[in-house]
Structure 1
Amino acid sequence: METRRADTIQIAGSLVLLAALLAALTGRLEQSSYAYLAANALGSGVLAGSAVFSQE
């Protein structure tokens, strides 16, 4: 995977995780809600997939 593309994907995954955390901290999402859990799963999956394919 091209380095710049891998970095962009990793940043996007991190932003999804941070957005979910911020929404939970500000009371916009419950930590047990499907939206929060889905955002965490998506962000984590993106980071894990990126790490596997870029072998970092």
Structure 2
Amino acid sequence: MGSRADTSRHEAVPKTMKALQYSKPEDFGVVEIDVPPIGEEDVLVKIEACGVCGTV
């Protein structure tokens, strides 16, 4: 068993992704950005769902 993951089973890395862009207090939104370069020791995680708690 090798030390590298078998990437043949995984889908290709997309060119863009959605990100939450925060500009200033109460000014944010979802934008489409380029996927940053992924280095040898980096991990790209695909998020299926996310939630935000509205309580303060």
TM bracket, shorter-chain basis = under 0.3
Which one has the bigger strand percentage? Answer: 2
Q: Give the TM-score, by structure 2 length.
A: 0.20
| Structure with the greater alpha carbon radius of gyration | 2
Which one has the bigger helix percentage? Answer: 1
